[in-house]
Amino acid sequence: MTTETTVKTIRIGTRGSKLALWQANAVADKLQTANLLTEIVIISTKGDQVLDKSLDKIGSKGVFTEELEVGLRDGSIDIAVHSAKDVQSTIPDDLELVAFMEREQVHDVILSFDPNFKLERDSKVVIGTSSTRRKALLKKFYPNVTTAESRGNLQTRLKKLEDKQFDALMLAYAGVFRMEYDNLIVHAFPTDEFTPAAGQGSVAVECAKDLDPELKQQIKAALDHPETHVCLLAERAFLRTMEGGCSIPSFALATLTATGQVSIRGGIVSLDGQQHLVEVFEAPQSEAEAIGVKLAETILAQGGAQILKDIREQRS
């Protein structure tokens, strides 16, 4: 008797933007290196379709992920690839994040077509960004800067910059580097002032909990970067406890120290930049999620809860 081995093709669900496809291709490459067969399936999400509203107005929950999650459930895809930053802090019970890929540099940058563009503390310039966190942090650290909405994929935003809808564009370095626009970078923000959003710079891979366990293990072995994973657990626990999606001005960055501890810096900034709460905690890796929670609870107790309440009231 011969044993039959069926070779399964892993269907990788992704949004259709160039950055999303870059990420999906990075996943496909790694799976192929592990001798797995792959196919990329493009799925459009609400976040791709509704471009005339800022994210906090669409409703932040799963705008870039929901349609992909439907695909995981109905079996049209086996895994979904997301920018880790875009994944809601609590994912549905029947799904799981099976891997976090090795993180790119996490900081925010400014892009301009003018190589002599300089951002000074008192600069009176218009910067394109639609991120609540970036807008609020700019108010705090660069009080004379004004911001202009810049939703859409990177290419759309660069077109707006070209059309002079703003003087410069603020983005995550990771996406800029992956799209090879790093020649336009004129300023890099240090992460102690502009601490990134939880998950920035990493790619998350989601699957159904009931995906074949052997396949799930192969996917994890091929894609997961354990150091990134533990940092992301801490940051996502922070985000979950803050009860905010990508539309609140919170930030969290976990890193591993030389002795292998997890260190997490995070907090929240009020929309007007007037209140800026930041704390740093360190713990063994086994307590990664616990320090994320502790950081959030500390920030909430220091006035973060009030900042969140004010934001909710302003929006309703």
Ligand X SMILES: NCc1[nH]cc(CCC(=O)O)c1CC(=O)O
Q: Which residues are catalytic?
A: 86
CB of 217 to ligand X, least distance (A): 25
Buried b (16+ CB within 10 A) or exposed e, 69-98: bebbeeeebbbbbbbbbbbbbebbeebbbb
Closest CA to 175 of 306, 71, 64, 299: 64
- Residue closer to ligand X (CB basis): 26 or 283: 26
- Round to whole Å and give the CA distance between 169 and 162: 10
The DSSP bridge pattern shows strands 79-83 and 203-208 to be antiparallel
Q: Any residues with CB less than 8 A from the CB of 235 and at least 6 apart, and which?
A: 198, 199, 252, 253, 254, 264, 266, 292
Q: Please report, for residues 170, 297, 304, the alpha-carbon distance to residue 276 in angstroms, rounded to integers and kept in the order given.
A: 20, 15, 9
- Residue closer to ligand X (CB basis): 14 or 200: 200
- Residue closer to ligand X (CB basis): 175 or 266: 175
Q: 3-state class of 149 per DSSP?
A: coil
CB of 154 to ligand X, least distance (A): 7
Element (H, E) at 159: helix 154-162
CB of 218 to ligand X, least distance (A): 24
Q: 3-state class of 179 per DSSP?
A: coil
CB of 125 to ligand X, least distance (A): 18
- Residue closer to ligand X (CB basis): 113 or 261: 113
- Residue closer to ligand X (CB basis): 174 or 231: 174
CB of 194 to ligand X, least distance (A): 12
- Residue closer to ligand X (CB basis): 110 or 291: 110
Strand order in the sheet with 262-269: 250-256, 262-269, 276-283
Q: Tokens in use for 114?
A: 């003018």
Q: Considering only CA atoms, give the Rg of the chain.
A: 20
Given the rule CB under 6 A, which residues bind ligand X? 83, 85-86, 171-172, 174-175, 200-201
Residue type at 205 in one-letter notation: V
- Round to whole Å and give the CA distance between 264 and 280: 6
